Structures are given as structure tokens and as C-alpha cells.
Amino acid sequence: MKKIQLAWFPAVLLFSGMALGQVSFQNIFPFKDMVFPQVAAGGAYESWITITNRGPEVWRGDLEFYNGKGVPWNPVVNGTAIVGGMRRVSISPGDTETYKVTLPGSTEAGYALFTADDADLTNFMEGYLTYYISAGGAVTDSVGVLPARQFMVSSLPFEDFNSIALGLVNTDPKERTANLKLRLHAEGGSLMKTKQFQMVKWEYSAQYLSHLFPDTTLGRGRLEIESDVPVSGIALTQAPGNQFSSLPLESTTRVYVIEGTGGHPNIFRHIILWTESFFVKGYVELRDETALFAISGYFSEDRLYLHWNGYWEDFEYFGYIKSDAAFTLGQQSFTGIWHTAWPPDLGFESGNFVATLVP
């Protein structure tokens, strides 16, 4: 089976911090900013980015391109070569634009980042990217992908190990080095291999799983990805006949057992968490009742802040959970404080807890 250049495959690393009650302007905001973690141009490949502004005012910002270790990349966009890895973009309300990324000569690859000038809630970006693959002047295949979404842990099940390709980009606005851990599991769930590596700020890389884990014989299985900063991305699978399909690569869940400490009461049994962009979502389960409540929150200075509410037996519950220190979904345990209240009786309880990851 013929394989296209390894650098063609998509995924992306992102980080977004959030101050309590105020969002940092340096975050990657869904529907305001947009990341396409893999763009291919030249040779047999073109990448078309189609976006629209659903807001009532003009969206203005930059379209930036990078590759390698964060080097500005200069492909051709709509017939004009990019200079310094950046192009200004302005999209009127209701307009749809397509940015056709091409190159003369051989194939090159990098990633694209749309960043808005403002944080106003009056202009929003929606869109997707399509890869076009040609042979003899005719398009032979195309693959559509959505913008990347963030996660801290992800699980990618696959049918054929040798057909899966993955790309990674570190676009942490705090410009930190990303520490990644990849775990390869066999069909039955047994751990086969682990790979750890670092990516410096803005670094880009893309490989087949068979290159990341050489000398591995495997058919069906699962790849687990863990990072110490939020990440997001996609992968591709290559079928016989050189046909490609995109695969979702989003957050998977982490389940924690909650135990009270210091003699405080503890009403929780489990908490289940995942990330979506810089948001944290999940469920919390009451200890003494068969009740499950949706929970949501965010990170602030790397700490975890969660809020929840819901009804149970004619009572409305409100809750708040905060970690004591920096938190990532890869931690084996973390500690924190919880508060809960329930009107109309206005009952109130609070306490400290330790949360332990369920293997």
C-alpha cells in the first residue's frame, strides 16, 4: 500500500488558561479562533479552508502558518504567497470565504491558525478544511476535517495499526514545552508499548503509528494519548487503494473515586471528567443516592474549578468543587474542597476530599 508523505497527517496541541471570572485573551476560543492542525500543499495535495462569519459584525484577525519547530511557513493562498507566515483576514457578517492553500513543487506541510483581533461576542467563525489529492491532473480523493478541539487525555481505537497516522503540534500560548505520553494497547486491552517525548513551543511533527512504535505487530487496538497541557487533534486512516478517512481525536473520560478527609462529610462517590477546548465537563455521582448530575468548569492558573446543579426528590442541589493545586487529567490523585446547598430548606454542607483515579 502506497503511503503519502508522513508530514501530511493532522493533530494539534493547544493550551488555554482561564482566570476565575475572566477569560485570558491569549486562549484559543471556539468559534472565535480556529486551528487546523495539518495543512498540506504542493505535489499532489491542496488544502482548502472554508469559513463563514455567523456574527452581526466583521470578523478580523490573522491567518498564521507554521511548520517544523515553529518556523513560519509560507505557502500560496488563493494564488498569493504568504510572507512571514501570516495573512490578514476580514470576513463580513454572513460571508463565506475559501482559502485555497497550494504550493509549486514538492509537498510541504504545516498547520494553520486563525486568531481573532478581539474578544467581542459579535463575530464568530465556523468552518472546515478539505484535503484534495490529485493524480494526473484529476482529483482522486478528498478528506474533510473539522477544526481541532482540546483534550488532556484521548483514546483512539483502530482496526488496522499500520493504517493510522497522527500529527502533533504544540501551540501553547504560554510557550511551554509539552510532555506527551503515548500508550499502545492490544485488542484485549493489554499495554504493549509506551512512548514519551517532548515538543518545544510551536513544534510540529507527524508520523504513522508504525513509525512511532517500530517493530510492532498489531491489528486492532487502541492508542491512549496523555499530555500535561490541554491538547486536541485528529488522525487519519488509510484504506487499500490509497483512500483516506479522518478519525475523531477528542477527549476521553477519567473516572475518580471521591473520599472525604479530615472528618468532613462527603456526599460524592465518583466524578467523571473530560475536556472540551478550555472547558471541563463531566458527571458527579452522589454517595448515598442513585443520582447523577452534569458538572462543568474550567482551569484557572492550572487549578480545577467545577460547578453543578440539579434536582433530586423535589430538592434542587447546587455544588462547587475546587482543586487545592495544579491539576491535569493524567494525575493519579488530587485533593480539594467541595460545597453544596439545596433550597428551599437552604441546607449547606462542605468538606475536603481526595480524588483517586480509577485504573
Domain boundaries along the sequence of the chain: 6-249, 254-357
pLDDT of residue 11: 27
Q: What is the pLDDT of residue 126?
A: 95
Average pLDDT over all residues of the chain: 84
| 26 — pLDDT class (breaks 50, 70, 90) | very low
Question: What phi and psi, each to the nearest 5 degrees, are found at residue 282?
Answer: 165, -155
Taking every pair of Cα atoms in the chain, the longest distance, rounded to a whole number of angstroms, is 75
Q: Given pLDDT bands bounded at 50, 70 and 90, which one contains residue 151?
A: confident
State the Cα torsion 251-53-80-118 to the nearest 10°. Answer: -80
115 against 24, higher pLDDT: 115
Residue 3's pLDDT band, with cuts at 50, 70 and 90, is: very low
pTM of structure:
0.79
pLDDT per residue as tens digits for the range 7-18: 333 322 222 222
Residue 74, pLDDT above cutoff 60: yes
Tell me, letter by letter, the H, E, C secondary structure of the chain.
CCCCCHHHCCCEEECCCEECCEECCCCCCECCEEEEEEEEEECCEEEEEEEEECCCCCEEEEEEEEECECEECCCEECCEECECCEEEEEECCCCEEEEEEECCCCCEEEEEEEEECCCCCCCCEEEEEEEEEEECCEEEEEEEECCCCEEEEEEEEECCHHHEEEEEEEECCCCCCEEEEEEEEECCCCEEEEEEEEECCCEEEEEEHHHHCCCCCCCCEEEEEEEEEEEEEEEEEEECCCEEEEEEECECCEEEEEEEECCCCCCEEEEEEEEECCEEEEEEEECCCCCEEEEEEEEECCEEEEEEEEEECCEEEEEEEEECCCCCCCCCEEEEEEEEEECCCCEEEEEEEEEEECC
Task: Give yes or no for a contact between 39 and 112, defined as CB atoms under 8 angstroms apart.
Answer: yes
pLDDT of residue 222: 96
As a whole number, mean pLDDT of residues 279-294 equals: 80
Per-residue pLDDT band for 28 (boundaries 50, 70, 90) equals confident
Average the pLDDT over 181-201 and give the result: 94
Residue 257 pLDDT level (bands cut at 50, 70, 90): very high
C-alpha 236/C-alpha 45 separation (Å) is 15
Contact 128, 38 (CB under 8 A): no
**Does the structure show a pLDDT above 70 at 279?**
yes
72 CB contacts (<8 Å, ≥6 apart)?
64, 65, 66, 84, 85, 86
Does residue 237 contact residue 197 with C-beta atoms inside 8 Å? no
Fold of 254-357: Lipocalin (2.40.128)
